[in-house]
Amino acid sequence: MGDRGGGCCPPMDLFRSEAMQLVQLIIPMESAHLTVSYLGDLGLIQFKDLNSDKSPFQRTYAAQIKRCGEMARKLRFFKEQMLKAGFSPSAKSLGETNNGFDDLEVKLGELEAELVEMNANGDKLQRGYTELLEYKLVLQKAGEFFTSAQRSATAQQREMESQQMGDETLETPLLREQETATDLSKQVKLGFITGLVPREKSMAFERILFRATRGNVFLKQVPAEEPITDPVSGEKMEKNVFVVFYSGERAKNKILKICEAFGANRYPFAEDLGKQALMITEVSGRISELKTTIDAGLLQRDNLLRNIGDQFEQWNLKVKKEKSIYHTLNMLSLDVTKKCLVAEGWSPVFATKQIQEALQRAAFDSNSQVGAIFQVLHTRESPPTYFRTNKFTSAFQEIVDAYGVAKYQEANPGVYTIVTFPFLFAVMFGDWGHGICLLLATLYFIVREKKLSSQKLGDITEMTFGGRYVIMMMSLFSIYTGLVYNEFFSVPFELFGRSAYACRDLSCRDATTVGLIKVRDTYPFGVDPAWHGSRSELPFLNSLKMKMSILLGVAQMNLGIILSYFNAIFFRNSLNVWFQFIPQMIFLNSLFGYLSFLIIVKWSTGSQADLYHILIYMFLSPTDELGENQLFPGQKITQQVLLLLALVSVPWMLLPKPFLLKRQHENVFMLNFLDFLLNIF
């Protein structure tokens, strides 16, 4: 929690957690809601759950929480609809809405019902529109089938007539009349079904039709040029227009079932060309009318969603706040008269006056005849840790709290992190060109922080904005270490004078230091530009950064462990910390402390030993000879002893702590039991 007290609060104690007290509040029922709201805005009290033995459904305000959950569901529905429509909720005004809880519930219900009705009507119209588009396509494509078939039949008939005219005899007219009479009696009327089938299913559709009817169908398909929106699924897909000719009702029933199985949409079709043209004209007119109606409905729906979006954040904040208030009220217990709520919670000592003022204001605003009672309770419970922060220190405190929160009245590691965290980052980063880029970006966030803090930012932007002061410190330290490393976007510069080294012969290259001799005074500040190259497998500067980071990190961890245990001994009178202090120091320094020692020895002697190889084979093959990787006499025995100490320290760290915690728990239980007996007798 941040420092919300303004000028009424005493100066912050950055190095220690605030002194805490357990307080009891007796709040009249009529002012309970407003009291919890004001105390929540204050943010200086942590309520205890006095109803831990009850389930969520047995608590007093379970119904109100359910109502808040339902309102939150409606707001999520509104947000989904807005995102689907292509715009996000407005963040212009995040002030609290003037609507009361009951009024807001009614308003959200009305808006949801209106929006659901609009969606249903829109879906219905859209489905009809896509069906008409498909129908029009069927009329056009299937019409081409019949037109081409009619032309082909006419051409064949003319050809047959011309052939028959050339072969006429005296008996030909009589025979033609007999054939015509015979053909008319044998003619069979064919039926047909038209529609669309997904193109990916067209081959299987044709195969199943052939097998089901034993080949007694004629199928004609033609692909649609563009993807079509399916009326049922609403998805765009590629389809084929088909016409199936059949004979008999039995074949028709089989074809209809196959169409349903393959998701083929069927549409009526007239064989007469005149009726086809009339149907196309009628369908085109209905498509135009539906398009106009759909556009008007979408415009009305967008206007409604924009009106919702203008107040969405206010409503969302209101619902979240109400739900938090009722969750807190459910943690309070009813007194025997059921006219008051009893609350217990931890608060900083400095916040006593602010809490009492909030209680008085809540009683006045709710027109309560009786004010809330505030009293301090004496307890043996361990208070929670509370560090006051501001906009500069809050991000550093969150970094520390992510790893662990200090115990009550212990030193605050967050203060030291303000310097150590950006400095260790800069030791590894170390480039004043990149540091300037980071600084300019964070200065933009800092200059516009009032405006940006009231806006809804994206996840990455919001995280960057929250850590703007951390990044600013990191950039400043990076500029400094970049000057020390003499690195500007990985390029060295002779900023503070000329390099002290020059090439002795042609063996000198840009990427090596072999062949360099000192010809001038030492470079006045930072790394000499000539040493920006390499003298081994790794670039010299990268090796320097990595090893300096290890040395400083190990030194900081050692110092942190020592300070934390001194703090535990002198300020918490805890004499059992050696059970963890000694094995932690042994484990840390047997591995990383030894690595730091090897780095210093290698720098001092100029050895070409491979430290990676030494550390890896210290675990894998501790008895092997070191060879060229030996840096000092007795190194093999030293590594074996350190490895043994590291292995012993692991169970030493892990096993005693559970037993110590068990004993402390038993002691606390006995003290509480004795207090209970004393209160009785």
Flag whether 167 is in a domain. no
Closest CA to 477 of 397, 420, 527: 420
Q: What phi and psi, each to the nearest 5 degrees, are found at residue 375?
A: -150, 150
Contacts of 490 (CB under 8 A, 6+ apart): 431
Beta strands in 486-573 (DSSP E): 501-503, 516-518
3-class DSSP state for residue 612? helix
Q: What is the pLDDT of residue 173?
A: 47
- DSSP reduced 3-state for 14: coil
**DSSP one-letter code for 2:** B
**309-314-317 Cα angle (round to 5):** 125
Write the single-letter amino acid at 339.
Answer: K
- Kindly state whether residues 374 and 360 are assigned to the same domain: yes
Distance between CA atoms of residues 38 and 521, nearest Å: 69
User: Which residue, among 51, 39, 675, 34, has the nearest Cα to 342 in the 3D structure?
Assistant: 51
Given a cut of 70, is residue 536 above it in pLDDT?
no
Which of 594, 590, 592, 572 has the alpha carbon at shortest distance from 582? 590
Neighbours of 428 (CB within 10 A): 15
* AA identity, residue 110: E
Domain boundaries, position 657:
551-680
Q: Which long-range contacts link 255-259 to residues 24+ away (Cβ below 8 Å)?
A: 255/193, 255/209, 255/212, 255/213, 255/217, 256/193, 258/205, 258/208, 258/209, 258/212, 259/193, 259/195, 259/197
Buried b (16+ CB within 10 A) or exposed e, 115-125: beebeeebeeb
Phi-psi group of 338: left, alpha or beta (phi > 0 → left; psi -120 to 50 → alpha; rest → beta): left
Cα–Cα dist 630/635, whole Å: 7
**Close Cβ partners of 438 (under 8 Å, ≥ 6 residues apart):** 471, 474, 475, 478
Cβ proximity of 21 and 349 under 8 Å? yes
Average pLDDT over residues 311-337: 91
Sign of CA dihedral 566, 569, 574, 580: positive
In a domain, 456, yes or no: yes
The domain boundary residue, chosen from 236, 261, 284: 284
| Range 324-349 average pLDDT | 91
Q: Please indicate, yes or no, whether residues 449 and 397 belong to a single structural domain of this protein.
A: yes
Closest CA to 17 of 1, 31, 5, 33: 1
Domain match, 241 and 148 both: yes
Q: Which residue has the tokens 């120091």?
A: 585
In this predicted model, what pLDDT tens digit does every residue of 407-419 receive, in sequence order?
887 778 888 889 9
**Where is pLDDT greater, at 639 or 188?**
639
Shortest CA distance to 21 belongs to which of 582, 440, 292, 408? 408
| pLDDT (tens digit per residue) in 443-458 | 999 998 888 877 777 7
The arithmetic mean of pLDDT across residues 656-664, rounded, is 73
In this structure, are 502 and 456 located in the same domain? no
Q: What is the pLDDT of residue 101?
A: 86
* Nearest CA among 414, 418, 408, 415 for reference residue 567: 408
- Among residues 334, 364, 386, which one ends one of the domains? 386
Q: Are 81 and 115 in contact (CB under 8 A)?
A: yes
Cα–Cα distance for residue pair 521/510, rounded to 1 Å: 21
First to last CA, the chain: 42
Query: Does residue 104 fall inside a structural domain?
Result: no
pLDDT of residue 556: 84
Query: Within this chain, do residues 264 and 145 fall inside the same structural domain, yes or no?
Result: yes
* pLDDT confidence tier of residue 561, bands split at 50, 70 and 90: confident
Q: Based on the number of CB atoms within 10 Å of its own CB, is 255 exposed (0-12), middle (13-18) or buried (19 or more)?
A: buried
Instruction: Indicate the pLDDT class of residue 8, thresholds 50, 70 and 90.
Output: very low
Q: Write down the pLDDT at residue 180.
A: 43
Q: What is the pLDDT of residue 89?
A: 80
Cα 665 from Cα 580, distance rounded (Å):
19
**Do 649 and 555 share a structural domain?**
yes
pLDDT tens, residue by residue, 275-312: 878 888 888 899 899 999 999 999 999 999 999 998 99
119-123, 232-236, 292-296, 542-546: lowest mean pLDDT where?
Answer: 542-546
* pLDDT of 473 over the 90 cut: yes
Distance between CA atoms of residues 294 and 131, nearest Å: 14
Q: Which of 173-182, 228-237, 504-513, 554-563 has the lowest mean pLDDT?
A: 173-182
Residue at 352 is within a domain: yes
Q: Of 23-27, 58-62, 561-565, which range is least confident? A: 561-565
Whole-number Å distance between alpha carbons of 32 and 342 = 10
The answer to whether residue 105 sits within a structural domain is no
Percent of the chain surpassing pLDDT 70: 83
Tell me the pLDDT tens digit for each residue of 387-402.
888 889 889 999 888 8
Q: In this structure, are 138 and 193 located in the same domain?
A: yes
What was the pLDDT predicted at 487? 86
- Predicted local confidence at residue 663, as pLDDT: 74
Residue 125 maps to a domain:
no
Closest residue by Cα to residue 284 from 395, 136, 72, 499: 136
Tens digit of pLDDT for each residue in 86-97?
888 876 555 566
Angstrom CA distances, 108 to 18, 301, 302, stand at 43, 16, 17
Among 621, 601, 619, 618, smallest CA distance to 609 is for: 601
CA distances (Å), 441 to each of 438, 447, 469, in order? 5, 10, 11
| Any domain includes 79 | no
The answer to whether residue 66 sits within a structural domain is no
Q: What is the token pair recorded at 170? A: 């005296």
Is 560 in the same domain as 643? yes
How many domains is the chain built from? Answer: 5
Compare 460 and 69 and report the one with higher pLDDT: 69
Asked if 626 contacts 614 with a C-beta cutoff of 8 angstroms, the reply is yes
Asked if 193 and 236 sit in the same domain, the reply is yes
Sheet-wide strand order for 218-223: 218-223, 239-246, 191-198, 265-267
| 137 shares a domain with 205 | yes
Q: Return the higher-pLDDT residue of 484 and 562.
A: 484
Are 558 and 669 in the same domain?
yes
> DSSP secondary structure string, 150-175?
HHHHHHHHHHHHHHHHHT--TTHHHH
Which residues partner with 24 through β-bridges? 344, 375
Res 1 pLDDT > 60: no
Same domain, residue pair 569 and 635: yes
Cα 582 to Cα 650: distance, rounded to the nearest angstrom: 11
Does 133 score more than 80 pLDDT?
A: yes
Picking from 249, 284, 319, the residue at the C-terminal end of a domain is 284
pLDDT averaged over every residue in the chain: 82
**296-310, 426-440, 496-510, 604-618: range with lowest mean pLDDT:** 496-510
pLDDT at 245 (0 to 100): 86
pLDDT for 4 equals 39
Pairwise CA distance, residues 573 & 577, whole Å = 10
